[in-house]
Chain A
């Protein structure tokens, strides 16, 4: 005869085991597509077609898919383009939005209120509403498409509102005004106060904004595809899309290309996992 306590303990144990089993099943469902890519990338085309689920193909391992795909999608060039665009867009967004948020928080001027109001309102506008006029203005009127700088300029423009909003909250809650007053008494002007006192205090928010924006820039497809039409300017998502259009029947190459497109961010995730998960959560909950 088991006591009530024993029964409760046993039930709790069973519940815990069930939870683990359910989690593992769901986890397998979630990573199954990635596993499939990884096992097929080392097979020759005939083996993938005959049995995509086999761990090892009948013709054995092959590493040829990687160098072939790298050459054909011009991997390092697209990687360099993506990296350059992501890094510069992120840095400009961070600096500009932190400065803007600072002047908005610390001054009750009409211009500040108007700018901030417009920014908040603009956050609901989806990209699809702006893409046609953007192409029309920058392509037709100014003729500045097909430059990395143009894409960086647009990336920054689209992400400023959200970033300013987040820095606005951070400065309001995390930067004590007394500290700024002390700096002022010590002879700092506003510009120096901002860079020497306020900006360093914003580190957690800088990390959050940097992670969210860098991921969005790196993965963005629609805007870059509209701005960059030249082969030598392709970013990784565009290069993947174009590559798939050309080589979709050569499935081994496609697998390699897809894996190459994912690898940079997955490697980064292994090292920065905690920061990315935290950053995304705190960014979303705000």
Chain B
């Protein structure tokens, strides 16, 4: 059988990858390109025609103060969350690899929040912030706890950050655990013999050898935080006074609540570009810092 003919190749390709190509194009490629087209139309989601409006959607995006506020808020939220998630995750990973009893149990336990969807997590924490902490504050008469943090503008942001840290720290911990395990014992022992304290071994030996873990975790947390939606919806719903509407929720509202699909899509694209630039830049800088033992 001749396996070098065009018809053989086409048949083989279609047999193995035909369905994949079709579904992938139908769900990802076509909508992406169609989305670019949508940004030049003013579609309301109902009418059959999609009037061409040129750059008007981009103009209204740039004029939409709420969008830029939401984007700035998302940036602040992301920076704080990303730092805290990674600090907590790194400490957890250090603790569960230091040879204490039951470390597998702890690993499994810290990972539990990742098993559950953001919607459910948000409602659980809403109960914690609105009821449990308030009850605790009242019974101990601690002023800062006796009203719900979710009711104040800065408090709601703070709550979102707490929940994100709690949600992602366990997942990132697993990646850092893998990083800690990849550092060979020989190097650690050599450092100890040369007189390094535990702290020095971590800072000067483990951390530089784990740069790829940091790059990985930072990329994952940055992209997830920038696109936060589920927890935002169930925990704060953008309240109070729209002070906790993150960029993704703003995009959703513009498109599906105010039926301005063109502007919504333009805003989604801008959000995507910002997120991609930050993520890729971080990976680029991180790769340069990688060393090998």
A and B form one complex: yes
Which secondary structure characterizes the binding site on chain A?
Answer: helix
Asked if residues A281 and B38 are in contact (CB atoms below 8 Å), the reply is: no
Most buried by A among B20, B108, B125, B233: B20
In the assembled complex, the CB of A234 is this many whole angstroms from the nearest CB of chain B, namely: 12
Asked if residues A53 and B132 are in contact (CB atoms below 8 Å), the reply is: yes
Which secondary structure characterizes the binding site on chain B?
Answer: helix
Complex alpha-carbon distance, A5 and B252, angstroms: 64
For A123, give the chain B residue with the smallest CB separation. B28
The size of the chain A interface, using a CB distance under 8 A, is 90
Complex alpha-carbon distance, A140 and B44, angstroms: 11
Given A96-B23, A100-B20, A269-B112, CB of A136 within 8 Å of CB of B45: yes
**A173 lies within 8 A of chain B by Cβ:** no
> What string of 1s and 0s marks CB contacts (under 8 Å) between B257-277 and chain A?
000010011001101100110
Asked if residues A109 and B31 are in contact (CB atoms below 8 Å), the reply is: no
In the assembled complex, the CB of A279 is this many whole angstroms from the nearest CB of chain B, namely: 10
**B106 lies within 8 A of chain A by Cβ:** yes
Interface residues of A in 139-189 (CB under 8 A from B): 140, 153-154, 156-158, 160-161, 164
List residues of chain B with CB within 8 A of the CB of A215.
115
Given A133-B38, A285-B178, CB of A191 within 8 Å of CB of B15: yes
List residues of chain A with CB within 8 A of the CB of B243.
none
List residues of chain B with CB within 8 A of the CB of A51.
135
Binds B, one of A64-72, A200-208, A236-244: A236-244
> What string of 1s and 0s marks CB contacts (under 8 Å) between A248-286 and chain B?
000100110010011001100100010011001100110
For B217, give the chain A residue with the smallest CB separation. A284
Interface residues of B in 228-259 (CB under 8 A from A): 229-230, 233-234, 248, 251-252, 255-256
List residues of chain A with CB within 8 A of the CB of B95.
19, 22-23, 26
For A164, give the chain B residue with the smallest CB separation. B20
For B118, give the chain A residue with the smallest CB separation. A221
**A4 lies within 8 A of chain B by Cβ:** no
> What string of 1s and 0s marks CB contacts (under 8 Å) between B204-229 and chain A?
00000000000010001001001101
Given A133-B31, A137-B30, A269-B115, CB of A103 within 8 Å of CB of B12: yes
**A85 lies within 8 A of chain B by Cβ:** no
**B155 lies within 8 A of chain A by Cβ:** no
Given A107-B12, A255-B127, CB of A262 within 8 Å of CB of B116: yes
In the assembled complex, the CB of A261 is this many whole angstroms from the nearest CB of chain B, namely: 5
Most buried by B among A125, A131, A161, A266: A131
Given A104-B17, A132-B268, A137-B34, CB of A284 within 8 Å of CB of B220: yes
Given A19-B95, A23-B95, CB of A251 within 8 Å of CB of B127: yes
Given A130-B32, A161-B24, CB of A30 within 8 Å of CB of B16: no
In the assembled complex, the CB of B190 is this many whole angstroms from the nearest CB of chain A, namely: 19
CB contacts between A and B, total, < 8 Å: 250
In the assembled complex, the CB of B245 is this many whole angstroms from the nearest CB of chain A, namely: 14
Asked if residues A115 and B135 are in contact (CB atoms below 8 Å), the reply is: no
For A50, give the chain B residue with the smallest CB separation. B135
**B184 lies within 8 A of chain A by Cβ:** no
Complex alpha-carbon distance, A190 and B135, angstroms: 67
Given A23-B106, A52-B131, A281-B175, CB of A132 within 8 Å of CB of B264: yes
**B2 lies within 8 A of chain A by Cβ:** no
List residues of chain B with CB within 8 A of the CB of A276.
111, 115
Given A133-B32, A157-B27, CB of A221 within 8 Å of CB of B119: yes
List residues of chain B with CB within 8 A of the CB of A244.
123, 234
Complex alpha-carbon distance, A251 and B135, angstroms: 15
Looking at the complex, which one of A126, A218, A220, A237 makes contact with B223 (CB distance below 8 Å)? A126
> What string of 1s and 0s marks CB contacts (under 8 Å) between B149-188 and chain A?
0000000000000000010001100110110000000000
**A62 lies within 8 A of chain B by Cβ:** no
Asked if residues A99 and B17 are in contact (CB atoms below 8 Å), the reply is: yes
Complex alpha-carbon distance, A22 and B88, angstroms: 12
**A34 lies within 8 A of chain B by Cβ:** yes
Most buried by A among B15, B92, B120: B120
Complex alpha-carbon distance, A132 and B259, angstroms: 11
Asked if residues B135 and A53 are in contact (CB atoms below 8 Å), the reply is: yes
Given contacts A48-B131, A52-B127, A111-B9, 5 further A-B contacts (CB under 8 A): A15-B198, A118-B29, A122-B32, A237-B230, A266-B112
Listed by A's residue number, 13 A-B pairs whose Cβ atoms lie within 8 Å are A23-B100, A27-B110, A40-B127, A118-B29, A122-B32, A133-B34, A137-B30, A137-B31, A157-B28, A158-B28, A221-B118, A277-B108, A280-B171
